[in-house]
Amino acid sequence: MDDNKERLQKVMASCGVASRRKCEEIISQGRVKVNGNVVSELGTKVSKKDVIEVDGKVLFKQEHVYYVLNKPTGYLTTVSDTLGRRTVMDLLDPETKKTRVFPVGRLDYDTSGVLLLTNDGELSYRLTRSQKEVEKEYQVRVSGIIDQPAVTKLIKGVLIDGVMTKRAKVEILELNRKNDSSLLTITITEGRNRQVRKMCETVGFLVKKLKRVSFGGVTLDGLGVGEYRPLKPHEIKKLYSL
């Protein structure tokens, strides 16, 4: 057994093809060749000497790049959309897209805020698929005046889609009786589909506005809506430490 070999999808991700999960799909679709032979088995391992092709193009190791985008609502968090809808890639300039970046995880169509983009598939995998807890903080505007019992339930965990949520951090920022709404921060360590919205609905409060203000300690840092910036070295280091 060659200990220097790595799984094909991991190598593809490190070369900036896509996230590791997406690379697995590409392999299963028969779009990858190793040394001229089509490979569709996910358990395949390769060495540095092997020549890997994806859609007929030979892979080369890319320099990794990392960005944080202040995602507006009304954009899909995906690289492309078969229906022609707007995606977060439409917010990037052509030069940035040359590095084949992709979003880290998901941010709903109607949710704004911090979205990481990179061509580092290994980091993306670690932040979205590993068992380690990565904190994601949201600012949430809900209808109605929330009470302490509801907050306590959110903190301890609620049942959504048949599974209890993990403990959360919740803080009330504002109770606006004039407009009958409440402003909260909710920090979670999971990434389930529409999780914050479902959590709030479970305790009886509909979300009016939702914005992610931090992902693993990375914040918007003065970015306007639709703007993005490279991550600072200490931010990248912190994400890897997670």
Can you tell me the mean pLDDT for 21-40? 92
Top-confidence residue, 15 or 28 = 28
pLDDT of residue 2: 55
Top-confidence residue, 1 or 54 = 54
pLDDT in tens, 41-71: 888 999 888 999 999 988 877 789 999 999 9
CA pseudo-torsion sign 164, 169, 175, 179: negative
Q: Rounded CA gap, 185 and 182, in Å?
A: 10
- Report yes or no: 140 and 186 within 8 Å, Cβ to Cβ: yes
Question: For residue 190, what are the contacts with CB-CB under 8 A and spacing of at least 6?
Answer: 165, 166
pLDDT of residue 1: 46
CA neighbor of 229 nearest in space, from 124, 98, 91, 129: 91
- What is the pairing mode between strands 102-103 and 112-118? antiparallel
Share of the chain above pLDDT 90, in %: 71
- Tell me whether residue 108 is one of the annotated catalytic residues: yes
pLDDT in tens, 99-133: 889 999 889 999 999 999 999 888 888 898 766 68
Q: Exactly one of 108, 110, 120, 161 is catalytic; name it.
A: 108
- Report yes or no: 118 and 67 within 8 Å, Cβ to Cβ: yes
